[in-house]
Amino acid sequence: MMKTPVLIINLKEYDEVLGEKAIEFAKAAKNLFEKYKDVTILIAPPPPIFEKIAKITPCISQHIDPFEPNSHTGYILPKEIKLLKGAGSLINHSERRIPFEDIEKNIELCRKYNLVSFVCARDNEEVKKIAKLNPDFIAIEPPELIGGNVSVSTARPEIIKQAVDDVKGISPSTMVLCGAGVKTKEDVEKAIQLGARGVLVASGVVRAEDIEGAMEELIKGML
């Protein structure tokens, strides 16, 4: 089982991370992991640079497709993420939503290839449905708050607490993360107090002037 608390930095496809620029984020994560060994820091880089990032610091895929190796074009296979030394994958992110049967298959493939599954849910009803599949993590992310300036832990604290309670009752081994608008140490502290085992962030780090400083500020909210 992956050590918690967990900080996932989803680089998405922002202009700030394209090409070789994602390496700067990986190096910052590596520096901080050596300083804060009780926190798991994971980068989710764009697919073209995944292999390079995985050689620098632990990383996960932004998305996987529910297939085994075969004549597939343009897909990201769980087995390949494993072969490239990835630690796991986001599944069903609000910007890359997939059918429920694909979520189930992806969780099964992650289990088969010893990858950690981080399944995103947009509300508490979806949390309960996904929890029945026993993923490693469920990340609750109200889509209306993603990329905004108000965090889910401030705007919708009840959704985090409810997710934690629901998951505990359905799949005790599954842990809850939260995301959407998380940018400050205080946002993270509140999420942890509500029972989350970590956070999923993007723009708050990607668009920060001081990348390593922004990451470290979030880590301090977990300690």
pLDDT in tens, 28-68: 999 999 999 999 999 999 999 999 999 999 999 999 999 99
- Judge whether 68 counts as a catalytic residue: no
pLDDT value of residue 4: 96
pLDDT value of residue 54: 98
Q: How far apart are CA 15 and CA 10, in angstroms?
A: 13
pLDDT value of residue 146: 63
Contacts of 11-17 with C-beta under 8 Å, sequence gap 24+, read: 11/43, 11/44, 11/45, 11/46, 11/62, 11/202, 11/206, 12/46, 12/62, 12/95, 12/202, 12/206, 13/46, 14/202, 14/203, 14/206, 14/207, 16/206, 16/207, 17/45, 17/46, 17/206
Where the chain has pLDDT below 70, the residues are 145-151, 155
pLDDT value of residue 181: 75
pLDDT value of residue 159: 87
Catalytic residue among 63, 126, 141, 217: 141
- Judge whether 141 counts as a catalytic residue: yes
DSSP 30: H
- Output the CA torsion sign for 103, 145, 46, 200: negative
pLDDT value of residue 147: 62
Q: Is 56 helix (H, G, I), strand (E, B) or coil?
A: coil
pLDDT value of residue 179: 84
pLDDT value of residue 193: 93
Catalytic residue among 51, 63, 72, 93: 93
Ranges assigned E (strand) in 14-136: 40-44, 60-61, 88-91, 116-121
